Structures are given as C-alpha cells and as structure tokens.
Amino acid sequence: MGLFFLIIILLFVVPIIWLVAGYNRLVRFRNAVDRAWGKVKVVLTKRADLIPNLVETVKGYAAHEKNVFDRVSEARSRFLSPSPSTEAVRQGVELEKSLRSLLAVAENYPNLKANENFQALSSQLAAVETELAEARDGFNADVLDYNNRLQTFPGNLIANLFGFEKRDFFELEAPAKAGVPKVEFKVS
C-alpha cells in the first residue's frame, strides 16, 4: 500500500507541483517586466509633459518649422494614448525621433539656445533623459530575464502551455541608422 502511494505521488503530485512552480516563476518574471515598463512609462510621460513647453519656446524663434512641431505633437499624443506595452515601446521610439528633430531645429537658432526658458527646459530634459536611460536599462534587463525563461527548458514547455509571449526590448535606433533629421527652412 505504501509503495502504491509513493508511485502515485511520483507520477501525479510531483509533476503538478513542478508545473505550478514553473508557472508561478514565469508570472513573477512577467510582472517584473510590467513593473519595469511602468517605471519607463512614468519617465517617458515626464518627458512628454516637458515637450509642449519646449515646442512653444522653439516656436517663438522658428515659427516656419510647423511640420516639425506637428510631428512632435502627434508623436506625443500617440504616446500618451493607452496602448499595449509592445505598441507603447514603438510609440516611445517615435516620440524620441520627433524630439530629436525638434532639438535639431533648435540648434540652428543661437538666440534660442541663449534663451533662459529654453536653457531651463533643456536641462530638465537632460535630467529626464538620464532617468530614462536608467529605467530603460532596468526594463531591458527584466525583459532579458523573462525572455530567457520563456526560451529555455523547462520554461519553454510551461510558456507554450499557458500562452506566455516574448516581450520586446525598448531600443532606440542607433543614431547612424536613424539618420540625421531633415530640417527644411521655408522663406515666408
């Protein structure tokens, strides 16, 4: 009778415990990724909140750059709209590109760069960018851990069984790949 119970435990209970433990481990890793994305989203939102002030300051000096201002505003709106994290990562990259083009416009106006408001906004933006880099690194580290668990044995078996999906890293295009922003000056 004792041997029978031992065999039943080995055949049924141990695999169930293993499956539950593996599932719970994957849930913890997925939640860590979501928590890290929340931190990135907070910093990206801080940056997005600085953008309207920055745009208004630049507009005073470069009113004919309407297409740049429109792209920045559209990218900010898309980023701030609710979306799944994979889409939000893409929108964060788009916001980054449009902000880069806005700052490229500002580089062409020495009086603007000397403006106190622009300098204050630029230094706030620099501080937020540093914070964003740290949050992005934490997020990507958690994504790496999670994806490794999903793709290695035995986690891949549990992940496939319960529908866990790979997450994307939050990567910006390399500056060389992104190209130099095109700035066109129109004479009114």
| pLDDT winner (highest mean) among 69-78, 120-129, 132-141 | 132-141
Position 8 in a domain: no
User: 85: closest CA among 167, 172, 173?
Assistant: 167
Position 141 in a domain: yes
Q: In terms of pLDDT, which residue wins out, 77 or 187?
A: 77
> Which domain, by its residues, includes 152?
16-178
The angle at the Cα of 147, spanning 141 to 152, to the nearest 5 degrees, equals 125
Residue 180's pLDDT band, with cuts at 50, 70 and 90, is: very low
Which DSSP helix (H) or strand (E) runs through 122?
Answer: helix 116-151
| pLDDT winner (highest mean) among 83-97, 107-121, 156-170 | 156-170
DSSP, residue by residue, 78-89: HHHS---HHHHH
Give the global pTM.
Answer: 0.73
Position 34 in a domain: yes
Average pLDDT over every residue of 104-129: 82
| CATH code of the domain containing 104 | 1.20.1440.20
Position 9 in a domain: no
Q: What is the pLDDT of residues 67-107, one digit of tens each?
A: 777 777 788 787 777 666 667 777 777 877 887 887 877 77
Position 188 in a domain: no
Average pLDDT over every residue of 146-175: 90
Amino acid code (one letter) for 132: L
Cβ atoms of 102 and 183 within 8 Å: the answer is no
Q: How many domains does the chain have?
A: 1
